Amino acid sequence: MAIGTIGTGLDIPSLVAQLTAKEREPRENQINSAGVAASAKLSALGTIKSGMTTLQTALKTLVTGMAKPGMKLTTPTESNFTAALDTSTTAGKAAAGTHQVEVKSLAQNQKLSSQAYTKDAVVGDGTLSIAYGDKTINVEIEAGATLEKIAAEINSAAQSKGVTAAVVTADDGQHLVLTAVDSGTKGALKVSASGGNGGLSSLVYDGTDASKMSEMVPAKDAVVVVDGFTRTSSSNTITDLVPGVSLTLTKAKEGEPQTLTIAPDNSTLKTNLNAFITAYNSIQSTLKSSSAYNAETNTASTMTGDAMVRGLQQQLRTQLSSNVNDLKDLGLTIAADGTLSLDAAKLDTALSKNPEAANKLFGAEGALAKPMTELMKSTLDTTSGTITQRQATLNKQIKALEKQLDDLDKSMEKVSDRYTKQFTAMEKMVSQMQSASGSLIDQLG
């Protein structure tokens, strides 16, 4: 018979399992309880870290935006020019103010045309030299070349620099049309011919002989007057006349100055401030809920009493309270519960009086931004940050608890083996006693 079916009749495996479980339970509960607490704290720290990271990002965006304060440009509905803020690093910053802009003339690209030729007429051969600015393009023309062949050779040699060539068919025949790539007098063309049979001389242009190439559209510079200062430009786009503003001239109307207005644009600042406020209020709410204590139910939260959480709450509050008056002047107020809010109209009024007021707080060296940036770094640094180090400690603790469970498993295996041996020995002894008793009864019977 199997062990457990004779002798005492005890179910030894079941009894051993119960006794082992009873012995295991207090220690296992203790380890599991510690593990649950550590995991809960790790999860809470993850939530806090996420909120702090969001605040750090919002603060960084706010600080970066202060380096390039928003400005808006206003031009007349039917303007003779367009204006855009120049965002290049070399451009000066646009300053608030008004400017009178009078467009006297627009820059235009010179256009030359040859006399008329029949479609298959052979023009000539040799070398065409096309000069513009301080550069010259030399184009080799082979014998038998038509206007279309000459245009193709010019475009191949020029590669869209200086000049483009095309053949236009009109009522009187085909014309070779050369267009300057660069506008204004700077891009004006001169064409000369050399070598060959002399046929290319009909394509020469020097501005004096109209029997050869003629000027269909003259090279012309733009002329604009801004606040009484005259500027001549080979381009219709001028980037260095009004600091920080790129002007593109679109229509010439001499004697009709128009107003360009440059004014502060606080929309980006408001967007960045609202994002910062949302992030700040959110992390404060997270810190509060994670460390709260319910006196009515005597229930503590995961991080109740945690020194790091309390310290972080206090440091964030101090950052604001230390600048409460300057914040209030900008329309930023702190409610009784610690939440931050913005009065956009008050912000506009404050900045209209003092454009640098926001930068004083939120610039890279601002009274609020600088210390808060340092706080974010000391809290979130991936190596030395307080949250990072705390997470590392909790992870080590959890691993240690996991090892304790493994060790407990091994220890309980030994306990189970010990109980099994003890009960097996007892069962054997009882069986022997039962056997001896049976023999004695048989003898007496």
Phi and psi angles of residue 177, each rounded to the nearest 5 degrees, phi first: -115, 125
* C-alpha 147, offset from chain centre: 54
- Which of left, alpha, beta for 353 (phi over 0: left; psi -120 to 50: alpha)? alpha
3-state secondary structure the chain: CCCCCCCCCCCHHHHHHHHHHHHHHHHHHHHHHHHHHHHHHHHHHHHHHHHHHHHHHHHHHHHHHHHCCCEEEECCCCCCEEEEECCCCCCCCCCCEEEEEEEEECCECCEEECCCECCCCCCCCEEEEEEECCEEEEEEECCCCCHHHHHHHHHHHHCCCCEEEEEEEECCEEEEEEEECCCCHHHCEEEEEECCCCHHHHHCECCCCCCCCEEEECCECEEEEECCEEEEECCCEEEEEECCEEEEECCCCCCCCEEEEEEECCHHHHHHHHHHHHHHHHHHHHHHHHCCEECCCCEECCCCCCHHHHHHHHHHHHHHHCCHHHHHHCCEEECCCCCEEECHHHHHHHHHHCCCHHHHHHCCCCCCHHHHHHHHHHHHCCCCCHHHHHHHHHHHHHHHHHHHHHHHHHHHHHHHHHHHHHHHHHHHHHHHHHHHHHHHHHHHC
Summarised one tens digit per residue, pLDDT across range 306-333 is 899 999 999 999 999 999 999 999 999 9
Q: Report the relative pairing of strands 173-180 and 163-170 from DSSP bridges.
A: antiparallel
- What is the CB-side half-sphere exposure of residue 348 using CA atoms within 13 A? 9
Residue type, 17: A
**For position 3, what pLDDT does the model report?**
41
**For position 431, what pLDDT does the model report?**
72
Residue where the block lists tokens 């801004």: 226
Neighbours of 419 (CB within 10 A): 19
**For position 444, what pLDDT does the model report?**
66
pLDDT averages per 10-residue partition of the chain, 445 residues: 51 85 86 85 91 96 87 93 78 81 97 95 96 96 96 96 97 97 96 94 87 93 97 95 94 96 91 97 93 84 88 93 95 94 95 90 95 95 91 89 86 86 81 69 64
Q: How many Å apart are CA 182 and CA 188, to the nearest integer?
A: 8
Q: How many Å apart are CA 211 and CA 224, to the nearest integer?
A: 35
Phi and psi angles of residue 282, each rounded to the nearest 5 degrees, phi first: -65, -45
Among 426, 430, 413, 319, which residue's Cα sits nearest to residue 366? 319
Every domain of the chain and the residues it spans: 1-70+265-429, 71-107+222-264, 111-217
DSSP bridge pairs for 170: 173
Q: Which residues contact 128 (CB under 8 A, 6 or more apart)?
A: 138, 139, 141, 150, 154, 191, 192, 193, 200, 203
202 burial (CB, 10 Å; 0-12 / 13-18 / 19+) is middle
**For position 407, what pLDDT does the model report?**
86
Summarised one tens digit per residue, pLDDT across range 151-205 is 999 999 999 999 999 999 999 999 999 999 999 999 999 999 999 999 999 999 9
**For position 63, what pLDDT does the model report?**
95
Residue where the block lists tokens 């002989």: 209
- Which of left, alpha, beta for 178 (phi over 0: left; psi -120 to 50: alpha)? beta
Q: Which residues contact 206 (CB under 8 A, 6 or more apart)?
A: 190, 191, 192
**For position 89, what pLDDT does the model report?**
52
**For position 7, what pLDDT does the model report?**
57
Global confidence as pTM: 0.65
Q: Report the relative pairing of strands 293-294 and 299-300 from DSSP bridges.
A: antiparallel
